[in-house]
Amino acid sequence: MTTTSAGPRPSAGNPSAAWASPREPQAVAQLLARLNWPLSVNAHEPDSAPQDYRIEPWHGSAKGHLLGIIPALHPDQLGSAAFRQYHGVRYAYMSGAMAAGIGSESIVEEMAQSGMLGIFGAAGLSPERVEQALTRLEQNCGGKPWGANLIHSPSEPRLEAAVTDLYLRRNVRLVEASAFLDLTPNIIRYRLSGVHQRGHEIVVPNRVVAKVSRVEVATKFMSPAPPKLVAHMVSTGVLTEEQGRLAAYIPVAQDVTAEADSGGHTDNRPLVSLLPSLIALRDRLQDEFKFAEPVRVGAAGGIATPQSTAAAYLMGAAYVMVGSVHQACVESGTSDVVRKLLAEAQQADCIMAPAADMFEMGVKLQVLRRGTMFAMRATKLHELYRTYASVDDIPVAERQQIEKTMFQTTLDHVWQQTVEFFTRRDPRQLERAEKEPKHKMALIFRWYLGQSSRWANQGLPERRLDYQIWCGPSMGAFNEWTKGTFLAEPPARKVSTVALNLLYGAAYVQRANALQWTGFPVHPDWQRVIPQERQTLLDLIN
C-alpha cells in the first residue's frame, strides 16, 4: 500500500476510472487497498500473455476474457458473524487478558470504543483491585461489551472463588477462562448462574471464552458441565434445579481460543496444528451434543502481522486474540522501559521459565530473555526447590548467593513479608507452611517470581535484571513488520491503531492472494502491507 504510482490511480469517488496492468504494481496495490471495491482480472484474449492482463473495478461484466473476480472484503467481514453478533462487536478481534493488569482498563476501553472486545487482566490482582477496575469499566465503556479474566489458581483456590463471587455480584457478563487444567466449581458456577428457560429458548446470561492449548482441556470446555459436579452443586444449593437440568444443553464455553505459541502460559503449540485440531474436535462434539449454537473456535499466539492474522481467519478462526503485541502499546499496564524492551525484541529472544502461580507443579511460561536474567534466576530457584526439602537444607553459600543476587535481602526477611501478605490474602497457606517446610520454601521462592513481574510493570531501574516480561515470538514478528515505519517507535503503538492495521492488513492480504490465484503476475509492491496511521485506515475502511 504505497503512496506513489506511475500508472492509473484509483479514484475514491469514481472507481470506474481506475485500472492497472502488471507493469504498474503500485497502481495495483492502490486498487487492492480499496477494500470495498470488487475487482476483476481480464485479458483481451484467452491466450493473452500474463503481462497483458489488467485489473479494474468489477461492474458486473468483463471487458474481454474474465480470468477472475476479487470480492470486496471489509475488515468487519473477517471471522465469524455469529461471534460479532453474540458479543455485540463490529470486528471479530479480541485483546487477551494479560495478567497483573497489563491487559489494562485503558486497553479494554479503547477496544470497546473501537468495536472490538477487550478483556481486563485480573490474574494476580487482589479482589479489591479487580473491583476497582470493574467500577471504572462500567462507567467508561458506555454499555459496550467487555470482559475480565478468571484464571485457574490451584495454589490459591480461595482467591479463584473470591474473584468468581465478585464477577457474579457485579454482573460481569463475560469472562476469559485461562490456565485451567480441569474444570473447577467456580467456572461452572459462573457459567450456569442465571441460566433459565424462556419458551423453547435457553437463556445463558454469562458468557465464557476459554483459552486452551490442549485437546483434552478443550474437550471439557466444549462439552456440557460434568453431570456429577452439577448434581453436587444442585444438592448443596449452589445451583437451582432448573440450572442443573439445563446444564446438559449448553457448553461450558461458547467460544474456545486455540492458544498457540504465546507469551505467558503456553504449551508452545504451532497454530497451524492446534487450530485445525480444535475445529475438528468442535465438529465431533457438536455432532454428539447438538448444541443450539455451536462452539466457536478462535486463534491466539503468533497473531502479529497481517499475514498471520489473515492465515488464522483463512484456517477457520472465528476470531483472533492478540496479547504480546498489545503489551507493547502505550495503553498497557506495564512500564515504558518494558515497552522499549519489547520493541527491540526479536523472535528468538523468548525463553520458558517457571510460573509463579503453578511453581510447585513445575509449570512454565514464556518470557522475554533479552535484557533480563529472570528466566535463569527463576530456573535456579526451581532447581533448589526440587533438590531440597526446606530452606534450612540449602547450603549456606548457595543461600547467601541467592539472597545477594536475587532477593537482595535475607530469606528470613522475605518470609516476614510473605507472612504479612498471606495473613491478608489466604491464611491457610501459612498454616500449611508451618506443617510442610517445603511449602514454606515454595512461598518464599514464589515471592521472587511474583515480585519480578511487578518490578517490570513499575519499571524499577534497580531491578531491571529481574524483570519478568511475558512475551512470545509474535513480538519479534511484529517488530520486523513495523521496522522503518511509524509503528517502530513505542509511543506510536496505540492499541486501536495496531488492531486496525492487523485487521485491514489481513483483508488486504486475502485480496492480494485472490489476485495471485487468477494468474496475475506477482510483484512485491502489491504483496507488501505497510502500516498506516489510524485516520488513514479509517478513511480506507469507511
* DSSP conformational letter for 20: B
Work out the pLDDT band at 342, boundaries 50, 70, 90: very high
Return the number of other C-beta atoms located less than 10 Å from residue 283's C-beta: 13
- Chain-centre distance for alpha carbon 520: 36
Across the range 156-162, mean pLDDT stands at 93
Across the range 114-137, mean pLDDT stands at 97
Query: What is the reported pTM?
Result: 0.93
Q: CB neighbours of 397 closer than 8 A, spacing ≥ 6? A: none
171: left (phi over 0), alpha (psi -120 to 50) or beta: left
If we measure between CA atoms, which residue out of 382, 391, 385 comes closest to residue 414?
391
CB 512 within 8 A of CB 526: yes
* DSSP conformational letter for 113: H
Across the range 249-254, mean pLDDT stands at 99
pLDDT for 113: 97
pLDDT in tens, 398-431: 999 999 999 999 999 999 999 999 999 889 999 9
Cell of 226: 460434568
Distances (CA, A) of 160 to 165, 167, 355, 521: 9, 11, 17, 56
pLDDT for 357: 87
Q: Where are the domains of the chain?
A: 15-72+494-541, 78-334, 341-466
Across the range 341-357, mean pLDDT stands at 96
Using the Cα atoms of residue 78, residue 81, residue 82 and residue 86 in order, give the sign of their dihedral: positive
* pLDDT higher than 70, residue 374: yes
Class of domain 78-334 as given by CATH:
alpha beta
- Please state the three-class secondary structure of 325-376 as a single string: HHHCCCCCCCCHHHHHHHHCCCCCCEEEEECCCCCCCCCEEEEECCCCCHHH
pLDDT in tens, 81-106: 999 999 999 999 999 999 999 999 99
pLDDT in tens, 487-514: 999 999 999 999 999 999 999 999 999 9
Work out the pLDDT band at 65, boundaries 50, 70, 90: very high
pLDDT for 541: 83
pLDDT for 540: 85
* pLDDT higher than 80, residue 1: no
pLDDT for 17: 52
430: left (phi over 0), alpha (psi -120 to 50) or beta: alpha
With DSSP H G I counted as helix, E B as strand and the rest as coil, what are the percentages for the chain, rounded to 5?
50, 15, 40
* pLDDT higher than 60, residue 41: yes
Amino acid identity of 458?
Answer: Q
Distances (CA, A) of 36 to 58, 305, 518, 530, 542: 11, 21, 19, 19, 9
* pLDDT higher than 50, residue 6: no
264: left (phi over 0), alpha (psi -120 to 50) or beta: left
Mean pLDDT of the chain: 95
